[in-house]
Structure 1
């Protein structure tokens, strides 16, 4: 039976993984929620912050395999809210950065359901910060762009001008298409020697930041057996990150490709 007053759907950003990077608003909502609908990228340590009697509903997605299609997720949020329940929709990173939060908010509003957005630290910002890679830098990059490496297929996306000298490109969901991404960028004129970093499981206990050059991106992902979630950062800012000894080692690696 539909309640007289529908509940509110809270689209909450869970950040890149480390619970310490949650906003205070997000932490409070997670701690008091009776129903949490969460992505697979939300770390178990964050879910452990829920109260003991909370209902936790996983709607995890992976490449070509979704436990629940997006339209069914939207319908679930609406149905629960119409039943009078407040719903915390917990999403990795920020809800509006490749999180389909915009679609969920639109459907809820169209159904007359109140919606509140709680921003989170995006994966790009959080993971780059952990690796000490400044996405912008006065001496290296005055612009940064976020793109998806598998959104509607690479051939449908125009990345011209997004990577190269003075620019930083951050690619979400690009591990499985790393070879195609490198080919696409080099075909657009980006130098094969452009520094790249792959940030795997950023801010979590088993995170890795692996550096190479664009021409070696696909090979490095295969050699290192990189697993999702991972981001690819393309640009000279990669050389600015982390300690000087690691930069020296990376510089020597670049020389081996020249």
Structure 2
């Protein structure tokens, strides 16, 4: 018989790969529990005359085996674990008794005190499984248990709850996209890796506020101040990544936006591969989409723009180093997003007009997007050069060109016009 409800449960992790697990009932309880059993590699046998559409889809894809009938004595033979979740209390009681006879751990959704096992509130973060069980049988509160689980997992994910590694780890580097500037817009994984870092090599455009949260022992290096010597700037950064990793440190290369969107992340990755240093890439939210969105500008909108193009404006259209086909861009009807183009926007606008883009095409410049200093300045292709000078627009700023600039409640409205909706 199950132990008295007053006794605490003994926590244990079950390894169910390839082992028979029986689930009785195909309703909402099964729908919630089945994904974890499938992820554990269990051989899941569902016994139920009916199932929710989501559970039925699991059977259709072969993730579980569905026996479309009611529970029968003997169904738990050779099982390692059983979840009893039918609406028939008599069937639940009989199945629980069979599990007891066969010494199979049994979870009951209708009567936890009659079960031989309880399902904890679980969560996962970076290879760690957090499982929370309430020990006070008289005061079991599933919502409180889940809240504890959520708080622990969230702390591990965002780096506010840090458990340092005590065993030596292999040298490694993480190329982390920090997002457009708001520290809340870095990914969960990026924030966690920052919390685990020994060394952070940061760009000027990375989310600076996150650096203040790092523990005192973390060495923060401003990439703009690395002594270059005989190296080019990027070569010096590559070498710093390699040197710190070879010294046994966990290194995070923190970039603004995404590492592979004009971030030279692949150059760093190639240097690490050549040096034999393992690395991981953590994508970031690109400013090309997020900054316009933060300013109320959608880069696509039904009936207005069905495509958007992101280009670098760090070299002018007439510069022989430019790889952009500005004539082709001028012929497009969609949205054009220009990064790193504030000081070149005059020549960019002239080139687009010369190749057929209307001079009255709306333009928005969003400076310091997603931060407290964000501001939006509107113009047209014909007026943007003088507007940038008059308004003192400075980098970093994302430039949006196209009719989407006139979409939304914050859009400028010219005399006789109405906002596009």
| From 344, 364, 371, the counterpart of 1:204 | 371
Matched, 1:71 2:235: yes
TM-score, structure 2 length as denominator? 0.55
> Relative to 1, partners in 2 of residues 1:169 and 1:188: Cα closer, same or farther, differing over 3 Å?
same
Give 2:346's aligned residue.
179
Matched, 1:120 2:252: no
Q: What is the DSSP-based 3-state SS (H/G/I as helix, E as strand, rest coil) of the residue aligned with 2:213?
A: coil
Q: How does 1:1-258 map to 2 (within 5 A)?
A: 6-60=170-224, 69-151=233-315, 154-155=318-319, 156=322, 157-163=324-330, 166-241=333-408, 243=409, 246-247=410-411, 249-252=412-415
Distance in 2 separating the partners of 1:8 and 1:69: 21
Displacement of 1:38? 0.4
Q: What is the DSSP-based 3-state SS (H/G/I as helix, E as strand, rest coil) of the residue aligned with 2:399?
A: strand
TM-score, structure 1 length as denominator? 0.87
Distance in 2 separating the partners of 1:25 and 1:224: 38
> Relative to 1, partners in 2 of residues 1:210 and 1:92: Cα closer, same or farther, differing over 3 Å?
same
Kindly tell me the number of residue pairs found equivalent between the two proteins.
243
Displacement of 1:160? 2.2
Q: Say whether the 8 Å CA contact 2:317–2:326 is kept in structure 1.
A: no
Distance in 2 separating the partners of 1:173 and 1:204: 17
Q: Say whether the 8 Å CA contact 1:15–1:122 is kept in structure 2.
A: yes
Distance in 2 separating the partners of 1:119 and 1:134: 21
Q: Deviations over 1:39-98 (max 9, x none)?
A: 01123212112222210000139xxxxx97011111111111122211100000011101
After superposing the two structures, state which structure 1 stretch, 156-165 or 45-54, moved more. Answer: 156-165
Q: Say whether the 8 Å CA contact 1:172–1:232 is kept in structure 2.
A: yes
| Structure 2: segments with no counterpart, 5+ residues | 1-167, 226-230
Distance in 2 separating the partners of 1:55 and 1:253: 57
After superposing the two structures, state which structure 1 stretch, 162-171 or 51-60, moved more. Answer: 162-171
Q: What is the DSSP-based 3-state SS (H/G/I as helix, E as strand, rest coil) of the residue aligned with 2:310?
A: strand
Q: Say whether the 8 Å CA contact 1:163–1:235 is kept in structure 2.
A: no
After superposing the two structures, state which structure 1 stretch, 143-152 or 158-167, moved more. Answer: 158-167
Distance in 2 separating the partners of 1:121 and 1:186: 31
After superposing the two structures, state which structure 1 stretch, 193-202 or 133-142, moved more. Answer: 133-142
Distance in 2 separating the partners of 1:180 and 1:253: 29
Distance in 1 separating the partners of 2:413 and 2:281: 40
| Structure 1: segments with no counterpart, 5+ residues | 62-66
Displacement of 1:164? 5.3
Q: Say whether the 8 Å CA contact 1:6–1:113 is kept in structure 2.
A: no
Distance in 2 separating the partners of 1:233 and 1:164: 16
Displacement of 1:153? 6.5
Q: Say whether the 8 Å CA contact 2:363–2:379 is kept in structure 1.
A: yes
Displacement of 1:150? 1.3
Query: Highest relative contact order (Cα 8 Å, sep 6+), 1 or 2?
Result: 1
